[in-house]
Each structure stands twice: as C-alpha cells, then as structure tokens.
Structure 1
Amino acid sequence: MGTPHNAAEKGEIASTVLMPGDPLRAKYIADTYLEDARCFNTVRNMLGYTGTYKGREISVMGGGMGMPSIGIYTYELYHRYEVEAIIRIGSAGALRDDIQLKDVVIGMGACTDSNYAAQYQLPGTFAPIADYRLLEKAVNTARVQGVNVKVGNILSSDIFYNDDDEVNAKWRKMGVMAVEMEAAALYMNAARAGKKALCMLTISNHLFRQESISASERQSGFGQMMEIALEL
C-alpha cells in the first residue's frame, strides 16, 4: 500500500494513533511505553511505531510542525489506513493567568488564524472541536490519576514568529488558554472523515510571564500527559 509519506502496509497501523510533533518523541514513547514495538515508517524520518499497551494495540507517529504537516499525515491515517482516532500530544505556550508551567490542557475547541477550512467551501466559519467521548474519557482518567487538567479553547496558529506584537493579547482577551500549531487541522480532518480526534498539551512556556521549563522538566510533564493519553 503505502503513500508518498508513509511506507506502512495496510494492517500495520492500529486503529488509535498517538501523535507527537517530534518523530524522536514518537520513538521515545514506543521504547518507553509500548511492548513489542515495531517501526512501520521511516520516510522523511517521520518515525512511526505499533506495539501494545496493557494488551491493546496502539500506534504512535510523529506529525511534524504546523497544520500543513499534520494535515497530510492525519488525512492519510484516516483515509488510507482506516485509523479511527488520533490523539495529538504536544506542547503549548500559555496565554491565561490561571495556566501554569507543566499544566496539562485539553483543547475542547481550536481557534485558528489558518485558512485550512477554505478547502471545504463552507458558507460560513467552521468551529473545529474535539471528539466528546475522547474528551470526557481524558478528563475522567486525569481525575482518577490525580491530575488537574484544564479544558477549553486553544489557538492553532500558522505563525510562530508573528509580526503583530499584540496578537497574543487579542486571543487572551477571548479566554483562549494556550497556543500551538496543529490541532485545528487535526480536528477538521477528523470531522471531514467522520473520525475521532483529541489534542492534549503540556504547557512548556508562558507568553505573558516570560517563563519556560527545561528539557528535563518538559519530559516529566510530558510523562503525566502520556499516562492519560495511553488510557484512551
């Protein structure tokens, strides 16, 4: 089978895929959490693995940076490999004062400055949202694990270095929790395919307090998020 971006054959990818941005993070997850993990993709070094967790088959694959990248990989997973659910696990910059470093936030909705939705030629503005059942299960799992997650609106931006110095303040005043670069495209691809998607994020920096965490601290916060995601 395969595609220009994925060498996997049909049946090599599980129905649920965890998707960090960094392909090396995908390798770390496979090595750390999955049993009998086998690599199904090395094209463009976008590593993908399938293994088992508590007896259940699960896959993990990198998605890259930005909506064009995750848009390609998730489209193919949904449409070419019969994947049913994709859970993005990544990092984000906090906007609101009540969001702290290493907090886990879940994107119930994903605002965006991207024109990704233009391809659907809709007669209005589409609101990209998470799958409710995945969202509910993630919140309940976090509660059992003693993790206080925050749920709400996030921003998926096409721009990392924005020329508008006021852009973050404008989103912040609308209550947006944090900014990342992929969830909106994931949610739109899932909606169009009739599939499931969720975005979970660990806060790595705060955009209004000039705070950030080290690589080792990011790893510990990421582990907390992973233990929730793996139960979904």
Structure 2
Amino acid sequence: MPKTPTPHNAALEGDFAPVVLMPGDPLRAKYIAETYLDDARQVTGVRGMLGFTGSYQGKPVSVMGHGMGMPSIGIYSYELYHNYGVETIIRVGSAGGYADDLELRDVVAAQGACTDSNYANQFGLPGTFAPIADFELLSAAVAAAKRQGVKIRVGNVLSSDVFYDGGANERAWKPMGVLATEMEAAALYMNAAAAGKRALCLLTISDIPSRGLGLPAEERQTSFNQMLEVALETALSC
C-alpha cells in the first residue's frame, strides 16, 4: 500500500474503514459521525476536510468530506482507494432537480452520471466513457429505501463543472431524461472503475432552480437524514 499520510489526508494506514460515506461539506461529515456512528474519532482534518471513523450497528464505517467539484472528489477518492485500501465509497450529496416530478428533499440514486467535464481525458480512452454506479450497491440502496419507506428515483444525473449556468444545462439535458444535476458523481465513478473498486452516489434534492425552490444552507446539513439512513443501511451490505 502506498505511503500514508498523503499531502491531503493526515490519516494513517488502517484509520479508514473499507466503506466510506462522502458528503461534499466537511461539517456534514462531522454531523453524520456525531449523529450516526458509535465511538467516532477524527482521523484527518487537513485543509479543514474532516474525516471520521466509527461503527454503525457494529460495522466499521468512515465518513469524510470531499469538497466541491470533480477535481476535489477526484483527489480524495483516489487517495482513499489507492492509499488507504478503501473498497467502497458512497457519495451522499445534494442536487438540483430537473425532472418535473421531483420535489425538495426527494432522494435520487445516480445509476449513471453524464458529464460536461474533461475528467475522463486522463485515462486516454479511444472514445467516451459512461460512468455508472456499482450495480450491487445500487440494488442494495433501492432495497434499503423500500424497507424504510423512502421514495427513491433511479436514473441519470449530470455531473457538471459549471454551477451558475443560467439554466442552460437543464434545457439541454432534461429532454434526455436526466433527473438532476450535481458536480462530483462522474469523477467518483471513473476513479472507482479505474481502481477496480465500488461507488454509488445518493442525492437529496436541495433546490429546483426552474421553480425557484431551494433549501436554506442551514437546513441542508440536517434535512438529508432519509438519504443518510439509506446510505448507512447500504453500507451494512458491503
């Protein structure tokens, strides 16, 4: 295993569990650890990107922030897969809704992640790569949501490098059946594929720009509990 700690992670070898939940916001990682994990301890905090390891229903689970955008999650997920022996990453994030039947706080499982990013260029592929979730993780999440009575939509999302796009992405991608937009899933799925590891992205709809709807920032940290509980039960299947 490559040397630890890394330039971006102060944890030592063995500090991370084989399965890691990753929200974008490091404070949400702290919230998850304090709310759901037993005996949670902080294992890293470089550049304020907090990471914790504890247990959930007796199973070792870690949680760590990944920041915003594909370059950021690209760095942290790469190091978790390659330096820390992590086998499974479940992104637990927010998304902007495109589909007409989505409402605030609805849960979306990203079966696939379209993207306008050039992230895949690094792999030198002679074509276009289709970033997809691990099927067993996706199936486990859908089953967990059903048991918990949580409505979950499964389908394509858009991982975009652009946040303030004036609605251009929705106009282009919504007619293709894309459910929602976020900024990280495609890079996570590519890193998992390249490393031979597993990944899933679960999302809570935090805003619907075309309808002028959105959750205040202070509500986002604590209003995603349904998604988090689905993710944690999915982690138990790993």
- With normalisation by structure 1, the TM-score equals 0.97
| Kept after mapping to 1: 8 A contact 2:133/2:199 | yes
Distance 1:219 1:192 in 2: 31
Figure out how many residues of one structure are paired with residues of the other and give that number. 231
* Cα 1:219–1:64 shift into 2, 3 Å: closer
Q: What residue is the counterpart of 1:146 in the other structure?
A: 149
- The yes-or-no answer on 1:107 pairing with 2:114 is no
- Select the residue among 170, 183, 198 that pairs with 1:181: 183
- Select the residue among 166, 169, 172 that pairs with 1:170: 172
Distance 1:219 1:159 in 2: 22
Q: What residue is the counterpart of 1:27 in the other structure?
A: 30
- The yes-or-no answer on 1:161 pairing with 2:164 is yes
* Cα 1:24–1:165 shift into 2, 3 Å: closer
SS state of the match for residue 78, structure 1? helix
- Select the residue among 209, 212, 221 that pairs with 1:210: 212
Q: What residue is the counterpart of 2:81 in the other structure?
A: 78
Distance 1:170 1:131 in 2: 27
Gaps of 5+ in 1: none
- TM-superposition CA deviations, 1:3-45 (whole Å, max 9, x none): 0000111001000000000001101111111111111101101
SS state of the match for residue 64, structure 1? coil
Distance 1:169 1:156 in 2: 15
Distance 1:230 1:95 in 2: 26
Distance 2:213 2:170 in 1: 15
- The yes-or-no answer on 1:198 pairing with 2:180 is no
- TM-superposition CA deviations, 1:142-187 (whole Å, max 9, x none): 000001100000000001122x653321111111000000000000
Gaps of 5+ in 2: none
Root mean square deviation, CA, Å: 1.1
SS state of the match for residue 72, structure 1? helix
Q: State the AA in 1 paired with 2:174.
A: R
- The yes-or-no answer on 1:97 pairing with 2:95 is no
Distance 1:166 1:61 in 2: 32
Distance 1:58 1:195 in 2: 16
Residue 214 of structure 1, CA deviation = 3.2
SS state of the match for residue 130, structure 1? coil
- TM-superposition CA deviations, 1:160-217 (whole Å, max 9, x none): 122x653321111111000000000000000000000000000011122111123465
* Cα 1:33–1:112 shift into 2, 3 Å: same
Distance 1:63 1:3 in 2: 15
SS state of the match for residue 173, structure 1? helix
Residue 221 of structure 1, CA deviation = 3.8
| Kept after mapping to 2: 8 A contact 1:102/1:204 | yes
- The yes-or-no answer on 1:133 pairing with 2:136 is yes
Q: Which stretch has the larger CA shift, 216-225 or 206-215?
A: 216-225
Q: State the AA in 1 paired with 2:210.
A: F
